[in-house]
Amino acid sequence: MSNVSRSELQAPSRPALRIVSLIPSATEIVAQLGYGEYLVGRSHECDYPPMVKSLPICTEPKFDPIGSSAEIHRRVSELLASALSVYRVKTEVLAELQPTHIITQAQCEVCAVSLSDVEQAVSEWVSAAGPDAAGPDAAGPDHAVLNHTTPNQPAIQIISLQPQQLADIWHDMSRVAAALEATALDDLPTNRPAATDVINRLKTQLQAKTQLQAKTQLQPRAVSRPRIACIEWTDPLMAAGNWVPELVDLAGGVDCFGTAGAHSEWIS
């Protein structure tokens, strides 16, 4: 049995945004863009903003997540060795929630629910909806947005995030905003911030921190830039890559192991 209440399943009188976010960063992006009230489902890991904790959970790990770093790594490795996905998407919950948009990621197959996991789950849901169901139809590079159609509702858009660097994060935010705005609903709040304003505000905050750090390093007593080791996994050791080295650099440090724009790597 799913944990979806009857009130959450009542169909709106007209088409409305119904967003399911299957990765914590996307949940925060949706909230930052002013669409938090349209979230109807989340992943088992999404816990911020606090309001999302009451939403139906649409995913679960296929392994026991309780244990040491080494134990969890072994369990995940065994699943991958058997050509199995690491997470399960609860198809029955998605079918009940009837989302218009599902946001996931294609950056890492083991860090969170993957694009392929979501594609399979939605395909099963669409197939169960009847012979008139159609999809998916790709729209955008690298399957960034996929459209699935069922007889009872408009196309379901799957938005896949795949950031490698900070610039990609801003781009992903713009893509999410564009996909949601394209629905063109009459009942969108008029006080919702423009996506460009949200992104520029975040960039300004980051720039202010960077400038403050630069001034500190120019002081007479300033020491050499600290060397920082950013560890993504402890046993075995994995160095954080992607945009993390950029953050270290902006904060005035030197990343010892990670490479900006490159995937996180194991340290041997």
- Prediction pTM value: 0.81
Q: How many angstroms separate the CA atoms of 209 and 22, rounded? A: 30
- H helix and E strand count, the chain: 8, 13
Residue owning tokens 């402890």: 234
Cα angle 72, 263, 196 (rounded to 5 degrees) comes to 110
Tell me the pLDDT of the chain (268 aa) as tens digits: 445 444 444 444 445 899 999 999 999 999 999 999 999 999 999 999 999 999 999 999 999 999 999 999 999 999 999 988 899 999 999 999 999 999 999 988 888 898 999 999 998 887 776 555 444 444 444 445 556 555 555 578 999 999 999 999 999 999 999 999 876 555 566 667 788 999 999 999 988 888 777 666 655 555 688 999 999 999 999 999 999 999 999 988 999 999 999 999 999 8
CB 104 within 8 A of CB 26: yes
Q: How remote is the C-alpha of 227 from its chain's centroid? A: 30
Residue 10, pLDDT score:
44
Q: How many angstroms separate the CA atoms of 40 and 94, rounded? A: 10
The SS3 assignment for 181 reads helix
